[in-house]
Amino acid sequence: MQSTDRPETRLATRLAFLVAGFALACWAPLVPFAKARLGVDDGVLGMLLLCLGSGSVAAMIATGMLSARYGSKPIIIAGGFGLALILPTLAVASAPLTLGVALAAFGACLGSLDVAMNIHAVEVEKGADKPLMSGFHALFSIGGFIGSLVVTLLLSVKAGPLAATLLCSALMVVATLVAWPRLLRTVPSADAPLFVMPRGFVMLLAALAAITFLVEGAILDWSALLLTTEGRLDASHGGLGYMLFAIAMTAGRLGGDAVTARFGDRAILLWGGMVAVAGFAVLLLSPFAILAMAGFLLIGFGASNIVPVLFRKGGAQKDMPAGLAVAAITMTGYAGVLAGPAGVGFAADRLGLPGAFWLLALLLCVAPLCAGIVTRNQEQGEADADRSYSSVDV
């Protein structure tokens, strides 16, 4: 295999994360247009949106198997081009069946790209002398911001959904073409297992990923309601909480690699998890909106680098092939995003919305409590300030 520690491979990995976040964000502003074009009610729309998640999960399972046999490069390329090809279809699909099929295909491309880019990121980081995973994940968030901004601006100047998506597709094609020759080439392994049941250490990593993503999905869907139903903010400003959370998470990941290199993965899980839990306490106990906003910042900063650590550990463990482990972590994390909103709604119906958010805080306590277990294979010197990060996991 070619050297993994090259600026070109880092650029290609960043572009893959950027394209994934960009593509997902391009779809979100199109949802109202799709509903109006099809003339469907909220129930039908919800079923159509479920096609996106179903396609993603199915592709994630297949991608883990294929990447173990053929490597991540062809999957990243196919996923990037597939997203660019299908996106304009989402802007013109005129029947529920057509849109459902297109969303399933779009989700499949997104899910396969998501798994493959994380596998690729693990390999690139293994060849480096410093952490890189947080920075890669920050590019997904940045891509999401750019995608939503570009589509919203184009729609606001009456460009139309089709014109907007065609331009965005062209940008994704260019990014994928730039990444193509710079992605790692792996030697196909004919004897690589196509499926290994997640077990042991990988199951723990997957559970922690599901919890972290569940918290993120719940904040996305329920934070505005939490702030507005108690009268702390006007309904028109309810989105400020998630906006601050997203900004803090992106900023935390942009600086996360340097922090990890300085203090190590164990400190990230321990102190990051504790800061996030403290953020929930500030959010829920504060009677004033400005302090509640500080709670969202703490949650975003604290949780920002937990998932990158989990992917790093998934790629380093020896219980199962790295590609299949990363696929399992990605799939369970995505399941957390899907289950989060419904789970919070179910808990809120019985405990009230603040009570449901206290349950989220309790769940997130698992991350700092498991910090020692997750990082048990790190060298002892990683706890020291000037010997905190080792590029070798055994």
* b/e burial code for range 356-393 (CB count within 10 A of at least 16 → b): bbbbbbebbeebbebbeebbeebeeebeeeeebbbeeb
Exposed/middle/buried for 147, CB within 10 Å: 0-12, 13-18, 19+?
buried
Domain with CATH 1.20.1250.20 in the chain: 7-182, 200-380
Which amino acid is present at 236?
S
What is the full per-residue pLDDT of the chain (394 aa) written as tens digits? 455 558 899 999 999 999 998 998 888 788 888 888 888 887 788 788 888 888 888 888 888 778 877 888 999 999 999 999 999 999 999 899 999 999 999 999 999 999 899 989 988 988 887 889 999 999 998 998 888 888 888 988 888 899 999 999 999 999 999 999 999 886 555 555 555 566 778 888 989 999 998 888 788 778 877 887 766 666 656 667 878 888 898 999 999 999 988 888 999 999 999 999 999 999 999 877 788 889 999 999 999 999 999 988 888 887 777 777 888 888 888 878 777 767 888 888 888 888 989 999 999 999 999 988 888 754 433 343 334 334 333 2
Other Cβ atoms within 10 Å of 290 Cβ, number: 8
8 A C-beta contact, residue 33 and residue 88: no
d(CA 363, CA 369): 11
How high is the pLDDT of residue 1? 44
Alpha-carbon distance of 131 to 124, in angstroms, equals 10
Dist CA 344 CA 356 (whole Å): 6
| CATH assignment, 7-182 | 1.20.1250.20
Structure tokens at 207: 């559970």
Structural contact between residues 106 and 25, judged by C-beta atoms closer than 8 angstroms: no
Token pair belonging to 220:
């996305």
Residue 381 pLDDT: 37
Six-digit token string for 140: 């997904």
Counting every residue, how long is the chain?
394
- CA 309 – CA 17 distance, rounded (Å): 16
Q: How far apart are the first and last CA of the chain?
A: 21
Report the distance separating Cα 140 and Cα 307, nearest Å.
Answer: 13
Is there a contact between 149 and 56 (Cβ–Cβ < 8 Å)?
A: no
pLDDT at site 391: 38
| Cα–Cα nearest to 205, from 118, 143, 298 | 118
Query: Are 121 and 199 a contacting pair, CB within 8 Å?
Result: no
Predicted confidence at residue 245, as pLDDT, reads: 87
Other residues' Cβ atoms within 10 Å of the Cβ of residue 213: 23
Radius of gyration of the chain (CA): 21
Q: Which fold has domain 200-380?
A: Growth Hormone; Chain: A; (1.20.1250)
CB-CB contact of 278 with 302 (8 Å): yes
